[in-house]
Amino acid sequence: MAEIAAIAKQFVEFYYPAFDRDRRELTHIYRDMSMMTWEGVQIQGAAGIIEKLASLPFKRVQHKTTTVDAQPSLPGVKAIIVMVTGQLLVDEETKPQQFSQTFHLVEDKGYFVYNDIFRLNYA
């Protein structure tokens, strides 16, 4: 389990700073078979996912992760489920928004994102 937690931590430490700098930096972690659900909208494939992320209506974003939980997903398959909670600030906002995001990482010459589900958490 320590190896899984370390992989999840490394992934999260890459993903959010890259997202905050330039969402196009994430192109190589998605594949044509990848699927994202962003606030209820499903997108299939790396090109569509990156297009969606790049078109989000904010110029600046800053993520702060609060929790990262990880589990193996299937016996005999190198795959990990990663659940992240945290806060984000966009553009000139001063009040952070709460978010949760779940990743299903699958190993294939390194890990790629097979599934990605993102939601803002409204109180």
> Is residue 122's pLDDT more than 90?
no
Q: Which phi-psi region, left, alpha or beta, contains residue 122 (left: φ > 0; alpha: ψ -120 to 50)?
A: beta
> Is residue 123's pLDDT more than 90?
no
User: Model confidence over 86-107: pLDDT tens digits?
Assistant: 999 999 999 999 999 999 999 9
As a whole number, mean pLDDT of residues 77-86 equals 96
Please give the pLDDT value at position 72.
Answer: 95
Name the DSSP class of 42: E
Query: Domains, the chain, ranges and CATH?
Result: 2-121 (3.10.450.50)
User: Model confidence over 21-77: pLDDT tens digits?
Assistant: 999 999 999 999 999 999 999 999 999 999 999 999 999 999 999 999 999 998 888
Contacts of 55 (CB under 8 A, 6+ apart): none
